[in-house]
Amino acid sequence: MTLPLVLDLTGRLVVLVGGGPVAARRLQTFLDEGAQVRIVAPWVCEDIAELVRSDGDRIQWRDRDYLGPADLADAWLVHTAVGELSVDRQVAADAAAARLWCVDATSAATTSASVPARTSVSTPDGRVTIAAHSGGDPRLASSVRDAIATGLASGLIPLQHNRARDGEGWVALVGGGPGIDGLLTARGHELLAAADVVVVDRLAPRAVVDRLPESVRVIDVGKTPGHHPVPQTRINDILVEEAQRGLGVVRLKGGDPYVLGRGGEERTACEAHGIRVEVVPGVTSAIAVPAAAGIPVTHRGVARGFTVLTGHEDIAHVPASSDHTLVLLMGVSHLGRTAELLVEHGHSPDCPVAVVERGFHPSQRTTVGTLATIDAEATAAGVEAPAVVVVGDVVRLSPHWT
């Protein structure tokens, strides 16, 4: 049987006997944990030599063979990986006589101490270290470690706890992408796994929300065109109030929080009350949804740039060059008026237009036309929000253009 322990090596001496690749990996580990290291070896590999050059204040190299117990003086921990059985066994025996724990990297069966397979995952409450040990099977330990890390990163392993006792809440503004699980970032999944409260938009990835534990409180603040049951000022207040209760709050939004998503307003409101805020970018629908319809917003020889605008109000002057793409979010209800204004501002009536509904979802649909015809085409097709409107010659690259 073994007893897992966490050791604080900060400022403590670790003796490393051997200078090969195994010793190099452990040297970096011990340095990362703040240890002082004494290396005993007649030669060292290039990785160790580089660390000696770059971090010499914390590394002492005795450029010779191991001589005996004197090399272990003042140590808190010993590691041996010489590769010669007699030497490694002698180091282990000398360490035992001095009542020092010794990691014998050459023998999983006889070593008195082991370094488990480790990794760490960042959470809003700090980093979580994952360590797995499986006796003499390091591959199994690595597989278990990686599986747990994946579960934490994907949100399959929840990390919620009663932060109200701790008194420090936080808010994360998480971009959910176009609304499907696969386009939510790994960091977004991590934060959802740690959240006590999720404040969710209508276009956020709802399947992710549906899988949250029952202990997570979900507050729906979704808006539909022309109907905003929860005004933005109240959304700001909700984020502040929940975080002030000491809870972890994820504001899960469609697309990206900072692309026509009012993320800046929400961050400002939270920071005005001293609340810690993290912003997690999302895959913006302005680029992703056209891509789902086979439309690149830029393409060599066709378009060198693009502009993203909100389409639910009259647009100002935008570049009318044939090598510039215009992307409109929330543009369905004013599509006809927008097309008229673009022609007035210099766009050709024959300029191609595509309206992509429900990007990435099974019911995704693309309607194409020109500035002169798109309003009638969209009306005849019964186009509805959510949709992204693309204006420019890049629309001709879509398989839906005929």
Amino acid at 373: T
> Rounded distance, CA 173 to CA 277, Å?
7
**C-beta atoms surrounding 272 within 10 Å:** 10
> Rounded distance, CA 289 to CA 388, Å?
7
For 309-326, how does the pLDDT look when each residue is reduced to its tens digit (9 = 90+)? 988 777 777 878 889 999
How far apart are the two ends of the chain, measured CA to CA in Å?
A: 71
CATH number of 163-283: 3.40.1010.10
Residue in the structure block whose two tokens are 């970032």: 185
β pairing state of 101-104 and 352-357: unpaired
CA angle (25, 26, 31) in 5-degree steps: 105
- Reading phi first (left if > 0) and then psi (alpha if -120 to 50, else beta), residue 125 is in alpha
> Rounded distance, CA 191 to CA 170, Å?
11
Q: State residue 17's pLDDT score.
A: 97
Q: State residue 23's pLDDT score.
A: 94
Rg (CA), the chain: 30
Q: State residue 127's pLDDT score.
A: 78
Residue ranges in the chain whose pLDDT is less than 70:
1, 153-155, 160-167, 223-228
The domain defined by 287-397 carries CATH number 1.20.1260.120: no
For 221-255, how does the pLDDT look when each residue is reduced to its tens digit (9 = 90+)? 976 665 568 899 999 999 999 999 999 999 999 99
Amino acid at 123: T
> Domain 13-115: which topology?
Rossmann fold (3.40.50)
Please name the helix (run of DSSP H) or strand (run of DSSP E) that holds residue 276, with its range, or none: strand 276-280
